[in-house]
Chain A
Amino acid sequence: MTFEKRVRFRSSWLPWALVAPQLLVVVLFFFWPAGQALLESVYESDAFGMSSTFVGLDNFKRLFADETYLQSFWTTAIFSIWVAGCGLTIALLLAVMADRIVHGGLFYKTSLIVPYAIAPAVVGVLWVFMFTPSMGVVSHALKQAGVDWNHLLNSTHAMTLIVTAAVWKQISYNFLFFLAALQSVPKSLLEAAAIDGAGPWMRFWTIQLPLITPTAFFLLVVNIVYAFFDTFAIIDATTSGGPGKDTAILVYKVYQDGFKAMDLGGSAAQSVVLMAIVIALTVLQFRYIEKRVNY
């Protein structure tokens, strides 16, 4: 972990006072409830909490004996790589281009960020409007182009759909932060490089990109976390994890079980597993990728 700053302030009490507010909120409204939620993983309870039996690791054993669960590890990995990869590259491309534009910049930037604000409930509906096989606006167009779009029964179509929907949402988010980062790059540096004869591509590679790596790293971590945890609603609205279980990523099953089926023990066990995976992934990112970030 790179916390190394050569210069620091000294105080025995100030840092504690500074972190106190956030820590208080986090402990009260996250750790305490989260601990209880995760504790459910070793119990078998009924919906209303009237009876709880301690079952040890049974919930976990059952999970790993379920081959569809193991299958969803793979599905989740593919999904996350696609979502993070596409989301970051497309957003970066758009941000770099938008940064160059002087005229109409406000319109472009607003139009790229505002879609993030559509109510999630409506987003799901819009995707259905667009992609319902043979009835959706986009699927109809695809049909004219010769693609018989049917994500209800075709797994590749289904995966493409959820990746597209998830990436769509993230483009706005990533674009915003990339843009902010690009606009923080001192113009003087770029001007100096231009005077030295560096073209726009060279300037991007040698100046802009290195300087936005802190933001890029932030976005990488956040995108992966997003792909793992926040995509339930999108999948529920479009494919419901189908066809079969082909788009049922890990978090989808957590929601299905915990939320729709009231299986608190099972869903808590899955959450533990999911958390462990993402924490491991994040630690790896901090350990190996952060080395290449320029601070």
Chain B
Amino acid sequence: MKLRNTLTSMALALTALSAQAQTEIQMWHSMSGALGEWVNGLANSYNQSQKDYKVVPVFKGNYDESMTAAMAAFRGGNAPHVLQVFEVGTATMMYSKGAIVPVAKVMKDAGYKFDPSVYIPAVAGYYTAPNGDIQSLPFNSSTPVFWYNKDAFKAAGLDPESPPKTWTELTLAASKLKASGHKCPFTTAWQTWVHLETFSAWHDVEFATQRNGFKGLNARLNVTTPLHVRHIENLANMSANGLFVYKGRAGAAGATFESGECAMYTNSSAAYAGIKRNAKFAFGVSTLPYYPDVKGAPQNTIIGGASLWVMAGKNSNEYKGVAGFFDHLSKTDVQAKSHQDTGYLPITTAAYQATEKSGFYKQNPGTDVSVTQMVRKTTDRSQGIRLGNFVQIRTIMDEELEQVWSGKKSPKDGLEAIKKRGDELLVRFENANR
């Protein structure tokens, strides 16, 4: 191993000597496991396509850890050039004056023609400022979809090829599954993302005022409307009847679906890789359920995942390299390959169309569900969410929903507590960033 390393470094050194001095671009990311390989592959493909710049991906822990590392490094003057930040940190990054450079500016300054219309609206919109300038480059984006266990459906007498599309149908399916002996008919991962945030956009209602925070810092939560209360009441009733079983915060429920314990669940489209690998049963994926009597539903879902931000304080030569890397990432073939390999959403419409043309979706049925939920013109209420202190707000939502599922609070009280506590945080953010 050491010998191989030494030989490799020698070879690299020789190559470096022969090439002109390369500018190094540091990219800090949080992709572990196989996804880390994916990032390395992207960097390699860019590095091999030109000689002037070398992108060096560095794994810096999970999103919280890499954010802290970047903050520390920034204060010490050695921030990376590119930082992968999760979507809930968008407002924090955007409002940190002087810490970041918007991607639109980086591309323009480096002389790249940057056309925002090539990007899938619901994907890029999340990271776009009200004036149309894209702030960060969507990198690994996914969106909630509905997964179900086809074998369990068959056993319960349900048609495995027609998954429930509405919440009424889902409740019915859950009852049938329970009747056939299933202990966990339905569960969910990322409950706040799926059932409050995306739920709102999917039904074309605001999750927070001021266009979910896009229009201004004075946004406040909007989760106490009759529609939201109705949905949480539905879930609470399902929970009381054993049709919906709460399986933990964040992505914890994923394991329960993959093992076959839970028959249906809502989770990120990016769960595909794990499910494909670990599930011993036939599974299907479909669009997120909705309430058909709500005007405008289904609209589009919003993304989760992370984007790439450019840190301030570097020189223009380095920014040229960053721009080149981003341009490379947006190329259709690169995007299409990433999308097909990882299950993350393609960020350009062209990549989506190329993938469709190649027959990929036919060979891997269901992998286009996530994209079709996004490839629509967004409305004022479904572009995404941009709220400050959003990490803490999500924790509050988790806490209150858990109180609802365990029966300690009524759905209405839980949602009102969310609004009260969340608004306090929004006020704080507004005051801090005026």
Contact = CB atoms under 8 A, between A and B. Distances in A.
A134 B183 contact: yes
Contacts of B395: 241, 256, 260-261
B391 A243 contact: no
Interface in B383-434: 389, 391-392, 395, 398-400, 402-403, 405-406, 408, 428, 431-433
A259 B75 contact: no
Interface string A35-51: 00000000010111111
Given A46-B92, A49-B75, 19 more contacts: A47-B67, A47-B71, A50-B96, A50-B98, A128-B252, A132-B248, A134-B261, A135-B259, A153-B405, A153-B406, A240-B398, A242-B402, A244-B400, A259-B68, A260-B395, A261-B389, A261-B391, A261-B392, A262-B89
B391 A260 contact: yes
Interface string B247-286: 1111010011001010000000000000000000000000
B95 interface: yes
Given A51-B97, A262-B92, A263-B392, A242 B399 contact: yes
A48 B255 contact: no
Given A135-B259, A259-B64, A46 B403 contact: no
| A134, A241, A259 pick with most chain B CB within 10 angstroms | A134
A154 interface: yes
A152 interface: yes
B125 to A, nearest CB: 23
A241 B402 CA distance: 11
Given A50-B97, A240-B249, A135 B255 contact: yes
A242 B71 contact: no
Interface string B32-75: 00000000000000000000000000000000100110010011
A245 interface: yes
B402 A48 contact: no
Contacts of B255: 132, 135
B153 interface: no
B432 A44 contact: yes
Interface string A146-168: 00000011110000000000000
B227 interface: no
Contact of B71 (A44, A49, A135, A153): A49
29 contacts: A44-B428, A44-B431, A46-B97, A47-B71, A48-B71, A48-B74, A49-B71, A62-B428, A128-B252, A132-B256, A133-B247, A135-B256, A152-B247, A153-B246, A153-B402, A153-B405, A154-B406, A240-B250, A242-B398, A243-B399, A244-B403, A244-B408, A256-B395, A259-B68, A260-B395, A261-B392, A262-B68, A262-B89, A262-B391
Nearest to B65: A259
Interface string B86-130: 000100110111110000000000000000000000000000000
Given A243-B403, A243-B406, A260 B64 contact: yes
A53 interface: yes
A242 to B, nearest CB: 5
Interface in A12-63: 44, 46-51, 53, 62
A51 B433 CA distance: 9
Contacts of A260: 64, 391, 395
A257 interface: yes
Contacts of B74: 48-49
Interface in A142-200: 152-155
Nearest to A51: B97
B170 to A, nearest CB: 21
Given A46-B433, A261-B389, A262-B391, A244 B399 contact: yes
B392 A257 contact: yes
Contacts of B408: 244
A48 B391 contact: no
Contact of A47 (B96, B405, B406): B96
Interface string B366-398: 000000000000000000000001011001001
B430 to A, nearest CB: 12
B392 A256 contact: yes
B32 to A, nearest CB: 11
Contact of A262 (B67, B98, B246, B406): B67
Contact of B249 (A242, A245, A261): A242
Interface in B226-255: 246-250, 252, 255
Nearest to A155: B406
Contact of B432 (A53, A241, A245): A53
Interface string A239-254: 0111111000000000
Interface in A99-150: 128, 132-135
Nearest to B63: A260
Nearest to B400: A244
B71 A262 contact: yes
| A46, A49, A240 pick with most chain B CB within 10 angstroms | A46
A241 B249 CA distance: 11
Contacts of A133: 247
Contacts of B98: 48, 50
A47 B100 CA distance: 12
Contacts of B403: 243-244
10 cross-chain pairs, A with B, having the tightest CB-CB distances, nearest first: A48-B99, A153-B406, A243-B402, A261-B391, A261-B392, A244-B403, A48-B96, A260-B64, A244-B399, A50-B98
A262 B96 CA distance: 12
A11 B365 CA distance: 83
A256 B399 CA distance: 13
Contacts of B406: 153-155, 243-244
| A62, A132, A256 pick with most chain B CB within 10 angstroms | A132
A154 B405 CA distance: 10
A31 to B, nearest CB: 19
B392 A152 contact: no
Interface string A214-227: 00000000000000
A49 B72 CA distance: 9
Contacts of A241: 395, 399
Contacts of B392: 256-257, 261, 263
Nearest to B67: A262
A75 to B, nearest CB: 13
B399 A245 contact: yes
Contacts of A50: 96-99
B320 to A, nearest CB: 24
